Chain A
């Protein structure tokens, strides 16, 4: 297999009338998915997008995965935009991406045109095109498995979002592992929680495709109403969830499973941040027979490179391991170019078929993170340095030990404090800025140095520069930011100040 659309061909042939993608407004069968993907692919092909990026400016719903696959049918690669984030950040992403085209909902076409980044085609126009199977077959014959499937933008430490470039081969290898390991099949019904511009959605979508399963795209607002969320899962007969721990914690904190008939879940997976063990234990008490697994991986390994299937009880205070490398995936723990001794912390580095091609149009950043395997100098072999620390426990399993730099996980999102700080520093009058994560209160705090209080203008400024999840909950002006003897900012002193905040 060399093209992701072969997964769609197989699903459409096997189960043409079975529901494939569903949202609150409707559903489409595998046969309808195939027809729409071919229509959209034909329309995009007319815009000559082969081996070029297409930016998707769409509301969350069934048409997202249809547009993603339609882009692949035209031989292009997609970048799904978070349309709720400020236009300024979308522009920075599009500057880097230089898309051949923006595919937008008709209702968003004016906003998409106002970005002035590329020609805009509406979804409605694209979906109405008459499919040209001969053209699409010709394009597919000229597509390689090393061609890109998508670029996924994550927060960058210099204030510049980084686009992780993922190939067809990456996703083919990764989804093969996911389906085999978790035994997804045609009876699997996924409840997709994460947005399509977030790497965890790759597992939902491409496992669904490979298993000819069903993908339920959940309305975002259900994550305000825990009992209704569970009722929705029950009504849609969802049996598989792969959510960020924050979303599972929302259900656990409200003890929502005690207030309604629990949905018929049999597979419960989580990743994206550290799962608090008490939260998992709450879910496990409700689902003693379900399979629980803690998954670990950065966007740069497609989604996951290590995993742990929960096979025993954990006390609330015990940390969960991240387990072992996925099959056909290597994990190295390195320090100063050497493997650490068992039990020592080292930087977790990944090797194998899941490792991304690099950062899109960022050769310097790529060279920093995608490096030659230092343990094997005899031929070119790229490993990805995650920047995460991990160690091997006495049980032989891997344990996550935090970030080497200060990257933050908040609300399931990956946030580089540097991006928040760089945005704050862009406001005249702000002399220095440090963003910290206040873990006990689960919030971002920005300390800034200025002659006078700038809380209001700074808050407005950040609202125009950053998506909501990256905006600090607390702004704290300091006359001077503390420094240590080396002239570096004194994080220890700031952490003390953090603990003293209201």
Chain B
């Protein structure tokens, strides 16, 4: 099981200085723009060796650190 801390580390690589709480809204708030979301998707894929499909690439899977963590854990199980 991966943790929010691991996700936060990758987020900080994508956008230095970004350190949101697990339930901080990342998308609607504009903290991550579309270029940064794409960078995050690529980084998650490489770091955890998972494939994020268009079906998984939805706002509800990326809107908070906790949601991203849940997605990563689910994709690793599959």
Binding site for B on A (CB under 8 A): 220-221, 223-228, 250, 254-256, 258-259, 411, 468
Within 8 A of A (CB), among B1-50: 27-28, 30, 32-35, 37-38
A-B contact pairs, 23 of them (CB 8 A): A220-B34, A221-B27, A221-B30, A221-B59, A224-B32, A224-B33, A224-B34, A224-B57, A224-B59, A225-B37, A225-B59, A225-B62, A226-B54, A227-B54, A227-B55, A227-B58, A228-B59, A250-B34, A255-B54, A256-B54, A259-B54, A259-B55, A411-B35
**Cα distance A220–B27 when bound, in Å?**
10
- Asked whether, in the complex, the Cβ of A224 is within 8 Å of the Cβ of B54, the reply is no
Smallest CB separation, A407 vs chain B (Å): 21
Given contacts A220-B33, A254-B54, 6 further A-B contacts (CB under 8 A): A224-B62, A225-B57, A225-B59, A227-B55, A227-B57, A228-B59
Q: Per DSSP, are chain B's interface residues mostly helix, strand or loop, or mixed? A: loop
Smallest CB separation, A226 vs chain B (Å): 6
Q: Per DSSP, are chain A's interface residues mostly helix, strand or loop, or mixed? A: helix
**Cα distance A411–B32 when bound, in Å?**
17
For the A-B complex, the count of residue pairs with Cβ-Cβ distances under 8 Å equals 42
- Asked whether, in the complex, the Cβ of A223 is within 8 Å of the Cβ of B54, the reply is no
- Asked whether, in the complex, the Cβ of B57 is within 8 Å of the Cβ of A468, the reply is no
- Report chain B residues within 8 Å CB of A250: 34
The verdict on A221 contacting B28 (CB below 8 Å), with A228-B59, A468-B33 known, is: yes
- Report chain B residues within 8 Å CB of A255: 54
**Cα distance A356–B37 when bound, in Å?**
37
- Asked whether, in the complex, the Cβ of B55 is within 8 Å of the Cβ of A224, the reply is no
- B42-78 contact mask (Cβ, 8 Å, vs A): 1 or 0: 0000000000011101110010000000000000000
- Report chain B residues within 8 Å CB of A225: 37, 57-59, 62
Smallest CB separation, A439 vs chain B (Å): 17
- Asked whether, in the complex, the Cβ of A221 is within 8 Å of the Cβ of B58, the reply is no
- Report chain A residues within 8 Å CB of B30: 221
Smallest CB separation, A318 vs chain B (Å): 28
Q: Of A224, A259, A468, which one neighbours B37 at CB under 8 angstroms?
A: A224
Smallest CB separation, A475 vs chain B (Å): 14
- Asked whether, in the complex, the Cβ of A228 is within 8 Å of the Cβ of B58, the reply is yes
Which 3 pairs of residues, A with B, have the shortest CB-CB distance? A224-B37, A224-B34, A223-B34
Smallest CB separation, A86 vs chain B (Å): 15
Nearest residue in A to B38 (C-beta to C-beta)? A224
- Report chain A residues within 8 Å CB of B59: 221, 224-225, 228
**Cα distance A380–B34 when bound, in Å?**
47
